[in-house]
Amino acid sequence: MLDLLESMVDGRNAFFRGLNRISNSNRDGIISRYLLNDLIIMELANRVHQHYVRLQTGTTQLTFNLPANFLDPVQVSVTPAQIEAGTEILAEPPADTQCAICQDSVTVDATRIRHCHHVFHRTCLNTWFSMSVRCPVCRYDIRGTGQLSQTSSVDE
């Protein structure tokens, strides 16, 4: 059992070291699926260990009840209330501001993320938030957790 756990830790370390080669747009979904699968493997290992203990004590009942949707991706999204709390509409954007999403100049319809002050077109940012919970520039979590993405670090 300890060999299995050691192998899982080694595999997890290798996985997270290799994340810098994966594009940011795919990273959150891949991490979610990896962690979900890792959790399922840990649950299976725990049940196998419990079965081993039961065999040693004379109890032989073992059940495996995996969720039917364990391979489905986990949907992480931001609510409209969180978007409203984390952003502000600007009457007049700063001069020479460029939307990091579409790369066009922001002259009207500007929205700024309150925490980091990055400015985008409102429609671009709303589309972005339908796919991610993080600022497209600095990866700040818009849900207000006060945390930056761990995947934005250069060392990982």
Domain coordinates in residue numbering, the chain: 2-57, 80-152
Would you state the pLDDT for residue 66? Answer: 63
Confidence of residue 149 (pLDDT cuts 50, 70, 90): very low
pLDDT top residue among 25 and 88: 88
Long-range contact pairs involving 60-68 (C-beta distance under 8 Å, separation at least 24): 66/40
Task: Tell whether pTM > 0.75.
Answer: no
Q: What is the per-residue pLDDT for 4? A: 72
For 121, phi and psi rounded to 5 degrees? -70, 140
Average confidence (pLDDT) over 107-116: 90
Which tokens belong to 39?
A: 């959790």
Q: Quick check: helix, strand or coil at residue 126?
A: helix
pLDDT tens, 64-103? Answer: 566 667 667 766 778 888 889 999 999 888 888 899 999 9
Burial bucket for residue 142 (CB in 10 Å: 0-12, 13-18, 19+): buried
Listed in sequence order, the residues at least 6 apart from 66 whose beta carbon sits closer than 8 Å to its beta carbon are: 40
pLDDT greater than 70 at residue 49: yes
Residue 61 above 50 pLDDT? yes
CA distance 2 to 123: 51
Give the CATH fold of the 80-152 domain. Answer: Herpes Virus-1 (3.30.40)
Predicted pLDDT of residue 89: 92
Integer Cα distance of 153 and 104 in angstroms: 27
Band of pLDDT at residue 117, cut at 50, 70 and 90? very high
Mean pLDDT in residue range 136-149: 75
How far apart are alpha carbons 42 and 48 in whole angstroms?
Answer: 10
For the record, the structure tokens of 151 come out as 């995947």
